[in-house]
Structure 1
Amino acid sequence: MKKHSARVAPLSACNSPVLTLTKVEGEERPRDGPGPTEAAAGAEAGRASRRGCRGSGPRLRKLAWGLAVVLCVCASWAGSTQLAKLTFRTFDAPFTLTWFATTWNCLFFLLYYAGHACKAEERQSVWQRYRECCRFFGDNGLTLKVFFTKAAPFGVLWTLTNYLYLYAITKINTTDVSVLFCCNKAFVFLLSWIVLRDRFMGVRIVAAILAIAGIVMMTYADGFHSHSVIGIALVVGSASTSALYKVLFKLLLGSAKFGEAALFLSVLGVFNLLFVTCVPVILYFTKVEYWSPFTDIPWGNLCGFAVLLLTFNVVLNFGIAVTYPTLMSLGIVLSVPVNAVVDHYTSPIVFNGVRVIAIIIIGLGFLLLLLPEEWDVWLAQLLTRLKVRKKEEAAEGGADPGSGPPGKRRGRPSFAR
């Protein structure tokens, strides 16, 4: 079976309603096999050691950038969740907030082109760059038919994912929402295994079971009250639509380069602006989502939420240019304790034993899903290296020059003639 290309964070992300679309050319390297003789293996090990010494500088820089990206992902994701909770105190309109924030996706391609204009050696015009990125949709580019068949379904899934997530924030605390949404990575694995025939991994099945167990325990933590059950169901629905979005993208469209990903996300923003605008208007006049006069709308909170969500999506999709995908996914896990600390001081959340165990179980399942496909091979290689190093140290200790072979020990000096 042909292996699919990697994205910014492998089917991750994970994490947010956004799909990490981008792939980087030349990231995958063939694994070196063992040499035909011990001498050849030793020479290869020496060359690898020298390459490792030369590459330690770039790796350290990449890790340093990774730390910055992790902090940015954590801060933007936790900040947007908390700001949404604050916004709903005076503006109880989750779908309208979803529409408003999604409209900002139109800026994705412009932000990408600004970066291209600053860094590219051969600068292209906006139109030339647009035409080149449109090849992602096919030979004919972004036609009306392609827009409705390949972009519109993902626009619907994107809106559903964000709306269910935000609606859940109005029902339960942000800690539960953020930790339950981490289950979408387990749903991605299950769908990929069933639909895409991806490689079966026992450790990921265990992670999926942990995620489901965590959902049940989180429901039990509040005593199965209707309000909390509805909120948990909304988050699980959001995680499910996010997983469906990612798997369908991988199945129908494959992978995208940076510019293609930016264009696709901008197209989703245009779809939202043209075809979803009528929904919040209908909800307003039917008083389903009715808010106070426009002068009392908290525009600062709305714009702040949209900026934080846009920042999160930009970093998540394009952060692989400077760091590793796994590090970016760790930013999502770190947002859970951040939300927990904020909830502890701002809302009447009770961290009983069941809730804490549920959070730990879901977090552990998320971390297990971050393991690479070859984790067992890497673990075996690590254990082998540790055994070899231990034998070498034992051999060096046995060959101490101060204690020679038993037959050649130096006796005490004698001065008798």
Structure 2
Amino acid sequence: MTPAAPARAAVLLDPAADVVELTRQVCDAESVSGGEGALADAVEAFCRDLGAYEVLRDGDAVVARTRAGRPERVVLAGHLDTVPLTDPPNLPVRRELVEGEGEVLAGRGTVDMKGGVAVQLAVARAAAAAGGAPTRDLTFVFYDHEEVASDLSGLGRLARGHREWLDGDFAILLEPTAGAVEGGCNGTLRADVTTRGRAAHTARAWRGSNAIHAAGQVLARLAAYEPAHVEVEGLVFREGLNAVAIRGGIAGNVVPDRCTVTVNYRFAPARSGAQAEAHLREVLDGFEVDVTDVAEGARPGLGLPAAAAFCEVVGTPPAPKYGWTDVARFSALGVPAVNYGPGDALLAHADDERCPVAQILECERVLTTWLLGAAPSEEVR
């Protein structure tokens, strides 16, 4: 008889906690990729208790949405998982004063991206108190497995199995942007570039052909490559083409007959994945190129009235997103999306991960003002 799986410890989220305390509670619910279940349970219970939403679940992904029939639907999305903890663990979260930053919450997930998840919960609560969908229909998406292989993504699973759950006219992914709007994202492509030679004993190297030496020509082309700056819908995206790994050789006395250079190409959303591959093959013409992974980028979509109104409330000019994020998944579904959330992305995954309290409060204020026409209640704060 197979033993029963151990019961997971319950996570409780205080329905009356302000957004900063909610961030602490969400962060302290450890949810390294693959272990999001207890936090997903708590998020589901929190949303159900608000009484204003249809709540749906697939695995450890939770969706809460209004069905008021408004002419426009906005999606707010964020992932529940984090990368592994440090040793010793950087949990529970601590409130600290940092010179030049003010008060911060420090610990795993504060930046990537549980500060954003807490803002989602606080906005969902404020919208429920205002009737659920006073100006627009709302969908809140909380999903699992973002920090691991793309084929495990909870958002990807929802897109494949429950496409209609992600319907919307505009989406905001609450990834860390330090409270600025970052439109679209670059695409990313990985490829293996292989050079071949002929094996020989190094004592008689002239009888062979060194594949690692031949790879120097690949590296020379990459070193000489000048990445483009591409304007897309008013934002300038910076591309990049880099060698990120090299493998070759079998022993210290053998001339290697094979060498592989792994290349990563970050391409502006003006290019499709096929166009990016064609460009890479052009740059490395004459070499054996095997594309192993490609993810399309996303155009900014800032020309939408909803996006323009949102940027106006934020009050700072939007910037491009150089890295790849799940806005690309929404873009592939025909839902224009931007990145907007608390925390400095440069501190994501860092041992000293921390998020300014002021940014968490400001993101809550901006989203609540934009969606509901009113700032968060001081009673909740």
Give the structure-2-normalised TM-score. Answer: 0.23
Q: Which structure is higher in RCO with an 8 Å CA cutoff and minimum separation 6?
A: 1
Structure (1 or 2) with the larger CA radius of gyration: 1
Q: Which has the higher helix share?
A: 1
Q: Which has the higher strand share?
A: 2
Give the structure-1-normalised TM-score. Answer: 0.21
